[in-house]
Structure 1
């Protein structure tokens, strides 16, 4: 599949590995793919992010991702669903952090790879890359671009798609900005 990636898409994948290394994450996640897309310049995804104002709110996007990590990977929808049955996630996180220290519920952890420096891709990141292939094929495109990776992140449920949607980068809005 990697041979079908454009240079921009390959840059996103290698950028995601760099993001994981920078944060000492044990695996490359879909969050790292998003951060690499946000770092892209001169690509379709960069144009789409700029046209939707996401680049101007990068700090807010990163804060949304960090909040989810701090809450054990729970998305805003997960938190809202639990609040609906009377569970206050913020209070639980505060209590756990008072007892075990700041970031005790943090998702990601430190890298534990043994003798190799190669970082593996987490299942959600692999699925996002597979979804980018499906999106490209569905559009009749012969190559997988950064735009396909970005769209793949928006169709998969979870923190990344919710944070993007909270910043106006829904699947529909991005599709219009990318291909409209």
Structure 2
């Protein structure tokens, strides 16, 4: 499937893998793909958010989730990325997004999967997928036209 990815879609996946590493996550998830896709100017403009803003929102959601289970992140300082090496693996949700992006490209009769196809697939995610939660929070903060 990756041979059908256009340059910007390949960059999105590469950025998602890097984002997972930066966040200390062992697998690439839909939130990493979403942060990766907003590096594309069209996707960023469509959502009305930058990668840095989305990353900050993801961090805030992580802190909220940890607080709900009684972990005070501020007490321990910033979380360090987990040590890990090797080939990146994708969560089932992230794999599904990549498959749906292929379907969107086929529906559009496009020979290549672009960032726009990835964004469409990400927008179809439902909770508990991290991208769905991030997009819902973004809508709350920016209004329904933001995402």
Instruction: Give the shorter-chain TM-score range.
Output: 0.7 to 0.9
Count of matched residue pairs: 134
5+ residue gaps, structure 1, are 41-45, 74-89, 104-108, 171-180
| Distance in 1 between residues matched to 2:65 and 2:90, nearest whole Å | 19
Sort the Cα spacing of 1:127 and 1:71 in 2 relative to 1 into closer, same or farther, 3 A.
farther
2:115 maps to 1:149: no
Q: Contact conserved, 2:102 with 2:117, CA < 8 A, in 1?
A: yes
CA-based RMSD of the aligned residues comes to 2.8
User: How far apart are residue 117 of structure 1 and its match?
Assistant: 1.5
Q: TM-score, normalised by structure 1?
A: 0.62
Residues 1:102 and 1:18: Cα distance change in structure 2 (over 3 Å): same
Structure 2 segments unaligned to the other structure (5+ residues): 75-80
**Preserved CA contact (<8 Å) 1:27 1:111:** no
Structure 1: which 4+ aligned runs deviate by more than 4 Å?
none
Match of 2:89 in 1: 120
Query: Which residue number in structure 2 is paired with residue 96 of structure 1?
Result: 70
- Distance, in Å, in 2 between the alignment partners of 1:34 and 1:51 is 12
